Amino acid sequence: MALSKNIKLVEVGLRDGLQNEKVILSVAQKVELGKRLISAGVQRIETGAFVRYDKIPQMQGTDEVLTQLYNWNKKAHYSVLVPNERGMLEALKYKPSEVAVFAGCSESFSQRNINCSIEESFERFKPVFALAKKNKIKVRGYLSMCFGCPFEGDVSEKVVVDMAYRLYKMGAFEVSVGDTIGVAHVGQVQSIFRKLKKKIPTKALAGHFHDTRGQALANILAAYNEGIYIFDSSIGGLGGCPYAPAATGNVATEDVLYMFQKMGVKTGIDLKKILAIAPWLKQQMGKDLPSKVGNVGLLRPQPIL
Amino acid sequence: MALSKNIKLVEVGLRDGLQNEKVILSVAQKVELGKRLISAGVQRIETGAFVRYDKIPQMQGTDEVLTQLYNWNKKAHYSVLVPNERGMLEALKYKPSEVAVFAGCSESFSQRNINCSIEESFERFKPVFALAKKNKIKVRGYLSMCFGCPFEGDVSEKVVVDMAYRLYKMGAFEVSVGDTIGVAHVGQVQSIFRKLKKKIPTKALAGHFHDTRGQALANILAAYNEGIYIFDSSIGGLGGCPYAPAATGNVATEDVLYMFQKMGVKTGIDLKKILAIAPWLKQQMGKDLPSKVGNVGLLRPQPIL
């Protein structure tokens, strides 16, 4: 199997990243972050979520972020998360080119996180897909807890594959297979993507890895070696994890770019420009960010004294 | 190519790890760490270095650490670093089963680190190899800065391969190819090990990766996929890096074990027992350690409230 010479990164820092951070950025800050990312070459960017802002205040102003970024650059591909029909109706006012829905792969997580069973979560998607089709909007499907659940432990590969296929058949152009708590092993990644590829074309599969246990890059490499070439990442590694003080959230965009840089794999993104965002972003967040490449930078030979 | 069902880890925390830490452990603490590691299944362990203790005080007491561990468990495989004939003569008093020599792959680093040219460093090895042969002691060869040098930038792959082959021909049973400043990319790792394999059998090649830019596990996976199955790692990720406050040193033993655990790859080491060392080691070092798996632990399902 020839591996892809290109990968596509979906920048999720403004949504999955920020929604897990304590610091709440203003609309102006989020728009500025979006502009810096797009200027560095990011083509696909999640800009926020149409959710209940009393529950997730970090997502407040998603409408304005989306509108301002779209008016600034109409070529980039913007997405927003919509949990249900209500969110979708809100999203429709701003005509994003893409929306995203999400489901958890364990019943316990689904109940705890979105207050419904897995079956009910698919029921909620139906009107979203119908409205999306009518309005020619692409739908991305997120599956979370695909490699393990904090409440149930192991998650069945069959459940994940069935749910991914179901989302795909409902009309999702892409299914993002998520290791939400950063527990996946390389062996699991190989196993599950091999099963997924049998039912869903690789162009419709994405990998979404958190770096909680430092495994994200190895898992991305394992998925890439299975023919997967779409990955979610978050600038600076935004998205702190509640399980440990120093733990990271999403895998950092900088670290993923660094890995692929010398493999002859193109991303369309300028790593140096991405690295230039870190000092500014640290200031906005008022804290250090977990991206290791972001903190250390590229190899810069030192003069010999 | 069928990949190995076993990997061998060389625990370097007591040497490469501790020598880069500010905190200096006592002989008793180092012996205790060694005992805990061996009890968890570690078979190969670097116990210290016969160097100038006025320059590297962290290595003081290497003789006692080696002796006490050997008297406690004669089955584990102990190694000590010897920079030259003087160190080797010191080591001979304690009859380790293995010693290690090291050379830097850039002239600037060699001059700065060991005050001699690359050619002179090989001259220094000659009496070490001669004494080792006479006393039936195995010699491991370390090459540092194989993927980039802080003073010169890029390092020639040809230089690395030639130096590795030279060490091997001199009698090194194993050559550890080191990314001392954590700058290696997956593409580089593939490229250099493919060249190395043409001249040196894989059973005599080891990978030594630092996690400064978060790439270590992906690089280990890439090397494993090239047929390499001996890797150096450091408990807790000991070995702070001078380039950034939060940067790690050697890749953490815990993180490597976690990755290989579900790939059906055996290590002979019990991850749970290794993880039990972390809280104690944190206390001894008086600081948090960088191992992500060490900090977060394994997946432990939470009760649903």
**B296 closest CB neighbour out of A153, A220, A244:** A244
In this predicted structure, the answer to whether residue A14 has a pLDDT above a threshold of 80 is yes
Contact B278, B254 (CB under 8 A): yes
Of the listed ranges A105-114, B57-66, B123-132, B216-225, the one predicted with least confidence: A105-114
Record: contact B299-A153, CB cut-off 8 A: yes
**B292 closest CB neighbour out of A213, A261, A296:** A213
What is the per-residue pLDDT for B95?
87
Share of chain B above pLDDT 70, in %: 96
| ipTM here | 0.93
CA distance A116 to B200: 58
Q: Please state the rounded mean pLDDT for residues B259-276.
A: 94
Q: Please state the rounded mean pLDDT for residues A61-80.
A: 97
What is the per-residue pLDDT for A249?
87
What is the per-residue pLDDT for B246?
45
What is the per-residue pLDDT for A262?
78
In this predicted structure, the answer to whether residue B303 has a pLDDT above a threshold of 90 is no
Contact B33, B48 (CB under 8 A): no
B14-35 pLDDT tens trace: 999 999 898 999 999 999 999 9
**A301 closest CB neighbour out of B153, B243, B263:** B153
**A221 closest CB neighbour out of B181, B218, B255:** B218
Whether residue A241 lies in the annotated active site: yes
Return all residues near B2 (Cβ < 8 A) that are at least 6 apart. none
Q: Which H helix or E strand runs over B107?
A: helix B107-114
Record: contact B296-A243, CB cut-off 8 A: yes
**A296 closest CB neighbour out of B149, B152, B212:** B212
Q: H helices of chain A, where?
A: 27-39, 62-72, 85-92, 107-114, 118-134, 157-170, 186-199, 216-225, 253-261, 271-275, 277-285, 292-296
What is the per-residue pLDDT for B248?
67
Q: Which residue among the candidates A105, A146, A149, A241 is catalytic per the annotation?
A: A241
Residue B262: its chain A contacts at CB < 8 A? 185-188
In this predicted structure, the answer to whether residue A152 has a pLDDT above a threshold of 70 is yes
Tell me the pLDDT band of A127, cut-offs 50, 70 and 90. Answer: very high
Residue A241: its chain B contacts at CB < 8 A? 296
Record: contact A183-B299, CB cut-off 8 A: yes
Render A151-212 in DSSP notation, one character per residue: TTBS--HHHHHHHHHHHHHHT-SEEEEEETTS---HHHHHHHHHHHHHHS-GGGEEEEEB-T
Record: contact A295-B264, CB cut-off 8 A: no
Q: Please state the rounded mean pLDDT for residues A1-15.
A: 93
What is the per-residue pLDDT for B241?
52
Give the Cα-Cα-Cα angle A187, A193, A195 (nearest 5 degrees): 105
Share of chain B above pLDDT 90, in %: 85
The structural domains of chain B, ordered by start, are: 8-287 (3.20.20.70)
Record: contact A186-B221, CB cut-off 8 A: yes
Q: Please state the rounded mean pLDDT for residues A124-143.
A: 98
In this predicted structure, the answer to whether residue B5 has a pLDDT above a threshold of 70 is yes
Tell me the pLDDT band of B87, cut-offs 50, 70 and 90. Answer: very high
pTM metric for this prediction: 0.95
What is the per-residue pLDDT for B122?
97
Closest alpha carbon within chain B to A223: B218
In this predicted structure, the answer to whether residue A13 has a pLDDT above a threshold of 60 is yes
A194-218 pLDDT tens trace: 999 999 999 999 999 999 999 999 9
What is the per-residue pLDDT for A243?
43
Residue B153: its chain A contacts at CB < 8 A? 299, 301
CA distance B80 to B19: 13
C-alpha distances out from residue A82 to A86, A89, A120, A123, Å? 8, 9, 15, 14
Record: contact A182-B296, CB cut-off 8 A: yes
Smallest Cα distance from B212 to chain A, Å: 7
What is the per-residue pLDDT for B245?
45
Q: Give just the sign of the alpha carbon dihedral A21, A24, A30, A32.
A: negative
CA distance A97 to A79: 7
C-alpha distances out from residue A236 to A135, A239, A274, Å? 34, 9, 9
Closest alpha carbon within chain B to A243: B296
Closest alpha carbon within chain A to B265: A187
- A–B interface: beta-carbon pairs under 8 A: 144
Q: Please state the rounded mean pLDDT for residues B28-46.
A: 98
Record: contact B296-A225, CB cut-off 8 A: no
CA distance B252 to A38: 35
Record: contact B150-A299, CB cut-off 8 A: yes
